[in-house]
């Protein structure tokens, strides 16, 4: 991949809200980068684009992102990313309970989509747009400073954190959504409605994503092509057919064709954000 990929861990005091920063740097390259896939991970992303921009392809759409600041909602399947010549993307992967802190917009509207930050929170946008978007040394401290006014948790944030904890994937027994609803005091229908408004997806959809991402994290580090059935069972799929159906819904190809080089995969594990 021509694009340089890097990750930066947030300061400890911001870790309850920011999973990590990840950077795609094509600022000195006169060519487009080859498209690589990002995968659903249960998080949203604040995106800073500089230079000529980027192309983002979620759910079969092509979204052009010129220089600017954006919020990307949840994605439901792999999404291609390519940087244009002389461009850079600095991204803050924010935890799923953070967007409701900065906006009242229903996150259901942002699934497989990206919106300019000015439409989400104009005050936050004004604090960030005049900085040097090519320099993470400027972007990250400016984002920290701008977020200080929002770093408080309300009932909705606590609710999301609580449900994500319940959805935390074990290696063999994924959580039962009906049991989560009973423990929450909501009906299952109301829990799903509330969760979809705040997150963009239903609790069941998030559970599928987290379950598969845990498996992909393992699959990307080892070769399991001849033992996919055993790997699927290890991560809570009740048979290989169930695994293949769930995999193809998100990855859009057969598990046997998985090639880590086609994806922008984390340098560190994805799932520490579940340890609350």
CATH number for the domain spanning 121: value is: 2.60.120.10
Are the beta carbons of 113 and 75 closer than 8 angstroms? Answer: no
> Are 8 and 143 in a shared domain?
yes
Q: Among residues 147, 175, 191, which one ends one of the domains? A: 147
Q: How far apart are CA 273 and CA 76, in angstroms?
A: 19
> Are 106 and 233 in a shared domain?
no
Q: How far apart are CA 134 and CA 88, in angstroms?
A: 6
> Are 214 and 134 in a shared domain?
no
Residue 179: CATH number of its domain: 1.10.10.60
Q: Among residues 101, 130, 147, which one ends one of the domains? A: 147
Q: Provide Rg for the chain, Cα atoms.
A: 18
Count structural domains, the chain: 2
- pLDDT tens, the chain, 276 aa long: 446 899 999 999 999 899 999 999 999 999 999 999 999 999 999 999 999 999 999 999 999 999 999 999 999 999 999 999 999 999 999 999 999 889 989 999 999 999 999 999 999 999 998 999 999 999 999 999 999 988 876 778 888 988 988 887 555 677 888 989 999 899 999 999 998 999 999 998 998 998 898 888 888 776 656 577 788 888 888 888 889 999 999 999 998 888 888 999 887 655 454 433
* DSSP β-ladder status, 36-38 and 63-65: unpaired
Identify the domain containing residue 183 by its residue range.
155-274
> Are 28 and 135 in a shared domain?
yes
> Are 57 and 41 in a shared domain?
yes
Q: Is 68 helix (H, G, I), strand (E, B) or coil?
A: strand
């Amino acid at each position: 991949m021509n694009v340089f990929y890097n990750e930066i861990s947030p300061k400890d005091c911001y870790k309850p809200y920011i999973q990590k920063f990840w950077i795609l740097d094509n600022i000195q390259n006169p060519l487009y980068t080859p498209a690589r896939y990002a995968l659903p991970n249960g998080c949203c992303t604040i995106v800073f684009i500089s230079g000529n921009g980027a192309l983002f392809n979620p759910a079969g759409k092509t979204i052009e992102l010129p220089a600017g600041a954006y919020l990307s909602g949840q994605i439901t399947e792999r999404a291609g990313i390519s940087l244009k010549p002389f461009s850079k993307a600095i991204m803050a992967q924010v935890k799923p309970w953070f967007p409701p802190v900065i906006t009242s917009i229903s996150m259901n509207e942002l699934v497989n989509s990206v919106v300019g930050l000015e439409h989400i929170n104009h005050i936050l946008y004004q604090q960030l747009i005049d900085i040097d978007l090519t320099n993470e040394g400027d972007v990250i401290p400016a984002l920290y400073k701008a977020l200080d006014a929002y770093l408080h948790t309300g009932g909705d944030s606590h609710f999301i954190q609580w449900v994500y904890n319940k959805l935390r994937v074990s290696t063999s027994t994924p959580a039962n959504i009906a049991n989560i609803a009973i423990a929450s005091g909501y009906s299952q229908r109301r829990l799903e409605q509330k969760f979809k408004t705040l997150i963009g997806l239903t609790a069941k959809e998030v559970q599928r994503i987290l379950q598969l991402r845990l498996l992909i994290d393992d699959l990307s580090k080892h070769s399991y092509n001849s033992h996919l059935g055993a790997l699927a069972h290890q991560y809570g799929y009740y048979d290989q057919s169930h695994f293949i159906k769930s995999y193809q819904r998100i990855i859009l190809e057969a598990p046997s064709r998985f090639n880590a080089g086609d994806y922008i995969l984390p340098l560190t594990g994805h799932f520490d954000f579940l340890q609350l």
